[in-house]
């Protein structure tokens, strides 16, 4: 058996792993967004017999229309695939580049998609694949791949609960572990303390009659924020704009995938939530309110319209709700207090802060997973510091390795 990393080795983005045995099985096929364009995984020359998508994030599914095969994943993931790819095609058209696929290819993926349930075993040739709840976002999977050996691919995962989803409860041991290592050098702050600080910042802004802007990823983060706002009894009108409205409806359609059954819809009934149509944008910012919209790092998206209108109001605030990748507009705004919109540099008078509501495993959770799975070989991927992480795992006795985007034999 061979494992080929087509992407995500020594990087975050374009996750794509090809398992070559009697059949060729693809695990994820994502893309990496670039300032103007996207980066795809390395091209696959072999016939792919089946593809498995771990979850509904672009870095794990964005290139799947390039592969013509049967695709497996949870049912909710198929809806998120369609939502994300439709948006990606739209952005590519706006920005004037061709992705290499269009709406017809997205239809092909939907038509050839086989929804699977957690713990349902799928046979592909001599290999059995079992999806396990990864605790990252609704419908997220790890995949346990069994033939002559047992290989666990984590996708993105989290062991501890968030408000939206239950953490992963991994019981399986495996011979080979292919793991994400996004936060290999970082512990997340205590969740409740972080929430309290976040709510304080929101209340201060609203007390000053300001508008609170919450740039957030559409899938999972927006809904996590809504659950937090509900928990602290926020009474102010909350506006959700852009792709997040569709993602919220998709997640609402799967109440059983939420930590507390149907918690999102119940929270939304208690909160004063309103979806925004583009013509309303100008009007809603005249009164104190909370606005949730993308993109999470201010790389394009609806939120920029609000930032453009409110950047010079010192009673307004912007709270980032997740990690800001170096070089993105969000990262630069936090560093310099400035943002480029429509080719103009704006000095932002609104207060800007960042909060950590990550849906990824923290450093200690990564180590915890390794100990649970107890593998003979570990490939550390999906991180900026995979080599350092592999070295640390070696120091505590594991045979760990940070691969390149290349092929490796995995017979033990
Ligand atoms: Zn993810
Ligand atoms: Zn990822």
Query: How many A from CA of 195 to the centre of ligand 2?
Result: 23
The rounded distance, in Å, linking the Cα atoms of 56 and 218 is 11
30-39, 185-194, 284-293, 363-372: the lowest-pLDDT one: 30-39
pLDDT range class, residue 100, cuts 50, 70, 90: very high
Tally of domains within the chain: 2
User: pLDDT at position 406, please?
Assistant: 98
User: pLDDT at position 38, please?
Assistant: 92
| Percent of residues, the chain, with pLDDT higher than 90 | 95
User: pLDDT at position 34, please?
Assistant: 83
Query: How many A from CA of 286 to the centre of ligand 1?
Result: 35
Statement to judge: residues 86 and 64 lie in one domain = yes
User: pLDDT at position 269, please?
Assistant: 96
216: containing domain: 191-354
Per-residue tokens: 97:
């580049």
pTM for this model (two decimals): 0.96
Closest ligand to residue 179's CA: 2
Query: How many A from CA of 39 to the centre of ligand 2?
Result: 14
265-277 pLDDT, tens digit per residue, is 999 999 999 999 9
Query: How many A from CA of 243 to the centre of ligand 2?
Result: 19
Closest ligand to residue 219's CA: 1
Statement to judge: residues 151 and 289 lie in one domain = no
202-248 pLDDT, tens digit per residue, is 999 999 999 999 999 999 999 999 999 999 999 999 999 999 999 99
Closest ligand to residue 57's CA: 1
pLDDT at 391 over 80: yes
**3-class DSSP state of 360:** coil
Neighbours of ion ligand 1 (CB under 5 A): 57, 156
Query: How many A from CA of 14 to the centre of ligand 1?
Result: 11
| Percent of residues, the chain, with pLDDT higher than 70 | 100
Closest ligand to residue 12's CA: 2
Query: How many A from CA of 60 to the centre of ligand 2?
Result: 6
Statement to judge: residues 130 and 91 lie in one domain = yes
Query: How many A from CA of 15 to the centre of ligand 2?
Result: 7
Query: How many A from CA of 238 to the centre of ligand 2?
Result: 28
Query: How many A from CA of 13 to the centre of ligand 2?
Result: 6
CA atoms within 13 A on the CB side of 201: 22
Statement to judge: residues 281 and 394 lie in one domain = no
Element (H, E) at 363: helix 363-373
Instruction: State the Cα angle at 396 between 391 and 397, rounded to 5°.
Output: 90
321-372 pLDDT, tens digit per residue, is 998 988 899 999 999 999 999 999 999 999 999 999 999 999 999 999 999 9
303-333 pLDDT, tens digit per residue, is 999 999 999 999 999 999 998 988 899 999 9
Per-residue tokens: 406:
């290349």
Nearest alpha-carbon partner for 302 in 91, 66, 49, 54: 91
Choose the final residue of a domain: 354, 373, 393: 354
User: pLDDT at position 37, please?
Assistant: 86
Closest ligand to residue 180's CA: 2
Per-residue tokens: 156:
């993105």
pLDDT at 412 over 80: no
Section 178-200 average pLDDT: 97
Query: How many A from CA of 283 to the centre of ligand 1?
Result: 34
Statement to judge: residues 368 and 295 lie in one domain = no
Statement to judge: residues 127 and 91 lie in one domain = yes
User: pLDDT at position 330, please?
Assistant: 96
Handedness of CA 300, 303, 309, 313 (dihedral sign): negative
Statement to judge: residues 403 and 290 lie in one domain = no
Rg (CA), the chain: 21
Statement to judge: residues 21 and 163 lie in one domain = yes
Query: How many A from CA of 191 to the centre of ligand 2?
Result: 21
Query: How many A from CA of 214 to the centre of ligand 2?
Result: 21
Query: How many A from CA of 61 to the centre of ligand 1?
Result: 10
User: pLDDT at position 327, please?
Assistant: 86
The rounded distance, in Å, linking the Cα atoms of 57 and 80 is 8
2-30 pLDDT, tens digit per residue, is 999 999 999 999 999 999 999 999 999 99
User: pLDDT at position 409, please?
Assistant: 96
Residue 131's CATH number: 3.60.15.10
Statement to judge: residues 143 and 28 lie in one domain = yes
Query: How many A from CA of 8 to the centre of ligand 2?
Result: 9
Statement to judge: residues 199 and 310 lie in one domain = yes
pLDDT at 411 over 80: no
Query: How many A from CA of 12 to the centre of ligand 2?
Result: 7
Statement to judge: residues 229 and 300 lie in one domain = yes
User: pLDDT at position 326, please?
Assistant: 84
The rounded mean pLDDT for the chain is 96
Residue 306's CATH number: 3.40.50.10890
Statement to judge: residues 151 and 274 lie in one domain = no
């Amino acid at each position: 058996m061979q494992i080929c990393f087509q992407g995500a080795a020594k990087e975050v983005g374009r996750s794509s792993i090809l398992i070559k045995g009697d059949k060729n099985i693809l695990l994820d096929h994502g893309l990496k967004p670039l300032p103007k364009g996207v980066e795809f995984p390395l091209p696959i020359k072999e016939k792919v017999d089946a593809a498995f998508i771990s979850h509904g994030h672009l870095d794990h599914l964005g290139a799947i229309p390039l592969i013509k095969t049967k695709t497996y994943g949870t049912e909710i993931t198929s809806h998120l695939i369609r939502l994300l790819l439709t948006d990606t095609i739209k952005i590519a058209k706006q920005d004037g580049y061709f992705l290499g696929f269009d709406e017809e290819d997205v239809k092909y993926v939907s038509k050839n998609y086989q929804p699977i349930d957690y713990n349902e075993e799928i046979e592909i040739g001599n290999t059995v694949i079992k999806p396990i709840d990864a605790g990252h976002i609704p419908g997220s999977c790890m995949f346990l791949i069994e033939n002559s050996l047992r290989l666990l691919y984590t996708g993105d995962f989290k062991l501890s609960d968030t408000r939206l989803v239950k953490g992963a409860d991994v019981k399986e041991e495996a011979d080979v572990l292919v793991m994400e290592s996004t936060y290999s050098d970082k512990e997340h702050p205590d969740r409740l303390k972080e929430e309290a600080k976040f709510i304080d910042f929101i209340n201060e802004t609203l007390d000053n009659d300001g508008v609170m802007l919450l740039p957030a990823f559409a899938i999972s983060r927006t809904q996590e924020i809504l659950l937090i706002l509900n928990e602290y009894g926020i009474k102010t009108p909350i506006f959700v704009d852009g792709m997040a409205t569709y993602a919220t409806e998709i997640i609402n359609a799967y109440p059983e995938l939420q930590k507390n059954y149907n918690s999102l819809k119940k929270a939304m009934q208690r909160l004063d939530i309103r979806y925004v149509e583009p013509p309303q944008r100008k009007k809603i910012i005249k009164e104190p309110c909370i606005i949730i919209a993308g993109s999470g790092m201010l790389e394009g998206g609806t939120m920029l319209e609000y930032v453009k209108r409110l950047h010079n109001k010192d009673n307004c605030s912007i709270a980032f709700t997740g990690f800001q990748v170096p070089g993105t507009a969000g990262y630069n705004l936090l560093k310099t207090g400035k943002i480029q919109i429509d080719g103009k540099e704006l000095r932002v008078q609104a207060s800007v802060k960042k909060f950590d509501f990550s849906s990824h495993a923290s450093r200690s959770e990564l180590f915890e997973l390794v100990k649970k799975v107890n593998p003979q070989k570990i490939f550390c991927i999906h991180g900026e510091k995979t080599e350092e992480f592999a070295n640390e795992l070696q120091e505590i006795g594991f045979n760990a390795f940070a691969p390149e985007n290349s092929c490796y034999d995995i017979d033990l």
